[in-house]
Amino acid sequence: MNYKLFDVIVIGSGIGGLVTATQLAAKGAKVLVLESYLIPGGSAGYFQHQGYTFDVGASMIFGLGKKGTTNLLTRALESVNVSLESIADPVQIHYHLPNNLDIKVDQNYEKFLQNLTSYFPHEKKGIRHFYDECQKVFNYLNSFELLSLEEPGYLLRVFLQHPLACLGLAKYLPLNVGDLAKRYIQDPLLLKFIDIECYCWSVVPAAMTPMINAGMVFSDRHYGGVNYPKGGVGKIAQKLVEGLEKTGGKIQYQAKVTKILTEQGQAVGVQLANGKVYHGKRIVSNATRWDTFEKLLPSEKIPTNEKNWQQKYQKSPSFLSLHLGVKASVLQAATECHHILLEDWQKMELAEGTIFVSIPTLLDPDLAPKGYHIIHAFTPHWIADWQGLTPSEYENKKEQAAGRIIERLEKIFPGLDAGLDYLEVGTPLTNRRFLGRIDGTYGPIPRRKLWGLLGMPFNRTAIPGLYCVGDSTFPGQGLNAVAFSGFACAHRIAVDLGL
């Protein structure tokens, strides 16, 4: 490495970390990204086996649209002069729910409202009012550039340019989806549907899901749409790294940071597992806030506001994942790419209650050998259920869990078991090991009902010189959300460094 002192050191190359790094490198900062694994991307990474290219995490991608300001992944790539071909998905999710609810969320907004109204004709007005209100939130967000809410100059500028949008958004900041849904909708079954609409990306029901996030997700799917990156989700991180290096930034793999170094209470550098030390004017952690403050810093130095945050938020479950290669004949014509399967509303939030399915080869056939498809099925699971097992008990438990999930998937994909060509099972232990996330968690969820997004921490921390980015900062989980976090973090640091 040429630099003795970097402007910015980023710990981890998840999408939040890479967006922070590329935005700052594009502004001329000397940036170093340190990644403990062999490839970038974290939960948005990939792995290859027997001719299959599997996405590590979900493949329902927002933010790769072509218009507006909320297409943050497209904007992040363009900032460093790289681009990525993507394939539009005409249906966001096909829900297979209790009470014979078989509902498709079409990209066409009116078509989706019709699909839903056909099940709940008596709630026609309420359905439109509720989803129109979500559109309102999205339109406010989509009217200005999304940067750091911690930077007074930006807030003033945005307010002067878009006063009505700012006042409109402020109204929704303390609200959760459940608060709004109940204003317009009475039918308990329809309210359950709104719950799963939230749960499938926030891992909590509507009462706990911030309205700002829902406005983004429920509306962008009909605006920028859900788009799949050609070559797999891993391409997003690869392209960001290409852009980072083009603009003079550096990334180092197999560089496991074990310690954030402080002097007189200020973050000044990092130490790797091999003892190597790098110094930086600003340090950014793309690890979870638990990993950042309990592992990378001495635990007696956990700031009070981080302890307070941990009182409000807890670790969401991790996931049990099945990566399947199946004969193409298993899938019927007109099968959609993304599915959610739930047979019992009471089990929605339990381990193995809800099964999430994506079949990316329906959009990009090149990810599997000819005549085969990829099915990625995953379901929430807690790490405690997988600890303390002998190797044979662990393998046996994986096999049994896979059997249960495949049996349930047979209801929507008859002949799945017989058509299996490849099976890889990942557990919360796998997620912890390869993604370096405490307990393999998907991210933070509220411990109790909070005021919308107002409890989420921003990028700055109580330790001068140390910033956090990713899903444990505002606005939370999901690729487009962590990209927003990256834009905000880079903007705040750029102002702090006078770039």
Give yes or no: residues 381 and 424 share one domain: yes
Looking at residue 2, its pLDDT comes to 45
3-state secondary structure 45-92: CEEEECCEEEECCCCCCCCCCCCCCCCHHHHHHHHCCCCCCEEEECEE
Instruction: Dig out the tokens for 334 from the structure.
Output: 């007109």
Give yes or no: residues 377 and 457 share one domain: no
Give yes or no: residues 405 and 434 share one domain: yes
What are the two backbone dihedrals, phi and then psi, of residue 201, each rounded to the nearest 5 degrees? -130, -20
Q: For residue 96, is it within any domain? A: no
Give yes or no: residues 332 and 408 share one domain: yes
Beta bridge partners of 377: 322, 357
Q: Where a domain ends, among 405, 438, 471?
A: 438
Q: Say what the pTM is.
A: 0.92
Q: For residue 329, is it within any domain? A: yes
Q: For residue 421, is it within any domain? A: yes
**Model pLDDT for residues 40-87, shown as the tens digit of each residue:** 999 899 999 999 999 998 888 888 888 888 899 999 999 999 999 999
**What's the Cα-to-Cα distance from 30 to each of 3, 15, 22, 170, 441, rounded to whole Å?**
8, 19, 10, 36, 32
Give yes or no: residues 166 and 139 share one domain: yes
Q: 118-132, 156-170, 353-367, 374-388: which range is least confident on average?
A: 156-170
Please give the share of the chain, as a percent, with pLDDT higher than 90.
72
Give yes or no: residues 326 and 426 share one domain: yes
Nearest to 176 by CA among 138, 204, 141, 152: 204
Task: Inform me whether the pLDDT recorded for 408 exceeds 90.
Answer: yes
Q: For residue 95, is it within any domain? A: no
Give yes or no: residues 202 and 282 share one domain: no
Mean predicted lDDT score pLDDT of the chain: 92
Q: Provide the H-helix boundaries in 228-365.
A: 234-246, 289-291, 304-312
Number of domains in the chain: 3
**Model pLDDT for residues 147-186, shown as the tens digit of each residue:** 777 778 877 787 788 888 788 888 888 889 999 999 999 9
Q: Which domain holds residue 364?
A: 317-438
Q: Where a domain ends, among 221, 246, 268?
A: 221
User: Rounded to whole angstroms, how far apart are CA atoms 107 and 90?
Assistant: 5
**What's the Cα-to-Cα distance from 16 to each of 24, 108, 316, 459, rounded to whole Å?**
12, 29, 19, 11
Looking at residue 442, its pLDDT comes to 85
- Does residue 372 contact residue 323 with C-beta atoms inside 8 Å? no
User: Rounded to whole angstroms, how far apart are CA atoms 47 and 45?
Assistant: 7
Q: How confident is the model at residue 452 (pLDDT cuts 50, 70, 90)?
A: low
Give yes or no: residues 30 and 138 share one domain: no
User: Rounded to whole angstroms, how far apart are CA atoms 279 and 259?
Assistant: 12
Q: For residue 53, is it within any domain? A: no
Give yes or no: residues 451 and 421 share one domain: no
CATH number at residue 11: 3.50.50.60
Q: For residue 149, is it within any domain? A: yes
- State the DSSP code for 292: I
Give yes or no: residues 326 and 407 share one domain: yes
**Model pLDDT for residues 256-281, shown as the tens digit of each residue:** 999 999 999 899 999 999 999 999 99
Task: Inform me whether the pLDDT recorded for 1 exceeds 70.
Answer: no
Q: Where a domain ends, among 420, 438, 456?
A: 438
Give yes or no: residues 175 and 197 share one domain: yes
**Model pLDDT for residues 313-359, shown as the tens digit of each residue:** 888 899 999 999 999 999 998 999 999 999 999 999 999 999 999 99
Q: For residue 101, is it within any domain? A: no
Give yes or no: residues 310 and 321 share one domain: no
Q: For residue 106, is it within any domain? A: no
**Model pLDDT for residues 104-121, shown as the tens digit of each residue:** 999 999 999 999 999 999
Instruction: Dig out the tokens for 251 from the structure.
Output: 């990334």
